[in-house]
Chains A and B, each alone.
Chain A
Amino acid sequence: MISSVFDWLSTPANWEGDRGIISQTLTHLEYSLIALVCAALIAVPMGLYIGHTGRGRVVAVSIAGGFRAIPSLGVLFIAVLLLLPRLRGELAFALPSLIVLVILAIPPILSGVYAGIAEVDPAARDAAKGMGMTGSQVLWQVEVPNALPLMFSGMRSAMLQIIATATIAAVVGLGGLGRFLIDGQATRDYDEMAGGALLVAALALLVDFVFGLVQRFVVSPGLTKTA
């Protein structure tokens, strides 16, 4: 069983071409990154605002908790039913999938940003203000740099979930590694399904590793080094 999965993975023909592993991996990555960026565009400013002002904390907590409970499949179908008649071409399939992934990614990013900002040492924040930093100086020079580790872990966990869930885009006919799962299921090709699953996990790990590297460069060593 394992060896036949390996055979599928090691067959060059499965890697090449429009529908091959390489192309689907790139497509998968593309959807995932677009979803992450969109989710970040929504969740980061929200998290910054809530963390910085302390206002709307209830909103943050309920969004973070509530969104997690929203079943992706249900949202996908609702979005398809609503958007299919309204959109032309590829977008009619891409947008519903994107909505699902964005909803999925918002909670971890939001709670990462919010918690990162909220957990900045109150003394550091107080000192910053007391030394004459303006609100935005406090935010960008003190709160954000200190929140980076938690922000990153929120982003990374969002990305892991996006990559795993982007497979359902294949349900509505989009590309990506989900194709191997869905097509494999449809044609009872077990090796293809298992191989696809392994590829998704591998992609998730790889992306997480890259994010980890970026984090190492971006986050101040002062936040990791201790006496």
Chain B
Amino acid sequence: MKRTSILAATLAAGLTLSACGGDSDPLDDSGEESGSSSSDTITIGSASFPENVLLMEIYAAALSDAGVDVETRGNIGQRETYIAGLDDGSIDMIPEYTGALTLYLNADAEATDPDGVYAELQDALPENLTVLEPSAAEDKDSIVVTAETASEYDLTAIGDLEPVAGELVLGGPPEFEERFTGVPGLNEVYGLEFSAFRPLAAGSNLTAQSLANGQIDVANIFSTDPSISENDFVVLDDPDALFVAQNIVPLVTTDAVNDEITTTLNGVSAELDTAILTELLAQVVVGGEAPEDVAREFVDSIG
């Protein structure tokens, strides 16, 4: 088994946790290796951020339990790189996100709700690639506030912010201010006008810490961010689906798909939801556990 180190994964995440959601910018530190997988071995890859590495390990553990020969190649880099890897057969499979993949394949995609996005993804996929069933687990942009703020203003959904937004400071990665699924969309869809936007470029932890410490009042972080449960942040509902659904889905080369794989991974996806994924990720990122160990434990627990 190739070395997949937690650190590299964690490290590689760097400031680019934004990768999880939409326009990804993961890191490429192992793309130079290449090796073709043999036909009866399934090679699973991952992008270069911890969550994707963890998902890769979960798929690997489940498949290996099902008797499939599995190899892993973590931290391949960003989407351009690993899609090319799928095309040339360097890898056979990778954990993906429905919304981001759809927009990558079809920039004009419009749907934002899970089903719509999944349908558009199916349409956009080239023939040599297949997606299995999506999981309920999503890693997408979310708007969170502290529990105190939520109770103070009685907030449950993003729209509830409307009357008080003018007194609050919003924080998030710099690009959040510009792109539609950010400040402009919040304004247009929910009518929110924050007193200020504070761009925080040093990763989601800075955003989370700033929220926890009151430098900002409302934060854009990803739905699987461990800081949410850690700090009892409240994720506000997005009823109008401003943020594109990002359900986790295995992207497989059509050639490699078989019943065994489909059944096994659909089973895994069914067991996974955002809360579970967040917790597992926290074990890796906060607890410093090895992704393969966390994955093994999870797969064993779902039998």
Contact = CB atoms under 8 A, between A and B. Distances in A.
Do A and B truly interact?
yes
A182 to B, nearest CB: 5
B24 to A, nearest CB: 12
A172 B171 CA distance: 11
Contact of A186 (B201, B206, B209): B201
B221 to A, nearest CB: 14
Choose among A81, A89, A173, A182 the residue with the greatest number of B CB atoms under 10 Å from its CB.
A173
B173 A93 contact: no
A178 B200 CA distance: 12
Interface string B1-39: 000000000000001001000010000000000000000
A170 to B, nearest CB: 7
A84 B214 CA distance: 9
B171 A173 contact: yes
A88 interface: yes
Interface in A83-133: 84-85, 88-90, 92-93
A172 B179 contact: no
Nearest to A188: B23
B178 interface: yes
Nearest to A175: B199
Give the interface SS of chain A, mostly helix, strand, loop or mixed: helix
A171 interface: yes
B19 to A, nearest CB: 12
Interface string A141-185: 000000000000000000000000000001111000001001101
Given A85-B213, A88-B214, A179 B199 contact: yes
A173 B179 contact: no
Interface string B40-73: 0000000000000000000000000000000000
Contacts of A84: 209-210, 213, 215
Contacts of A6: none
Given A77-B202, A84-B209, A173-B201, A182 B174 contact: yes
Contact of B200 (A88, A89, A173): A173
B293 interface: no
Contact of B178 (A93, A172, A187): A187
A80 interface: yes
B198 interface: yes
A186 B54 CA distance: 25
Contact of A92 (B23, B179, B213): B213
B129 to A, nearest CB: 25
Interface string B164-183: 00000001011101110000
Contacts of A183: 174-175, 177-178, 199
Contacts of B198: 173
Choose among B174, B179, B214 the residue with the greatest number of A CB atoms under 10 Å from its CB.
B174
Given A92-B215, A93-B215, A182-B174, A187 B179 contact: yes
Interface residues of A, number: 21
Interface in B190-205: 198-202
B175 A186 contact: yes
Nearest to A92: B215
Given A84-B213, A84-B215, A92-B213, A187 B174 contact: yes
A172 B200 contact: yes
B191 to A, nearest CB: 22
Contacts of A171: 15, 201-202
Contacts of B215: 84, 88-90, 92-93
A29 B206 CA distance: 25
B197 to A, nearest CB: 10
A80 B214 contact: no
30 contacts: A77-B202, A84-B209, A84-B210, A84-B213, A85-B209, A85-B213, A88-B214, A88-B215, A90-B215, A92-B210, A92-B215, A170-B199, A170-B201, A171-B15, A172-B201, A172-B202, A172-B206, A173-B171, A173-B201, A173-B206, A182-B174, A182-B201, A183-B174, A183-B177, A183-B178, A183-B199, A186-B173, A186-B178, A186-B201, A187-B174
Interface of B: 15, 18, 23, 171, 173-175, 177-179, 198-202, 206, 209-210, 212-215
Interface of A: 77, 80-81, 84-85, 88-90, 92-93, 170-173, 179, 182-183, 185-188
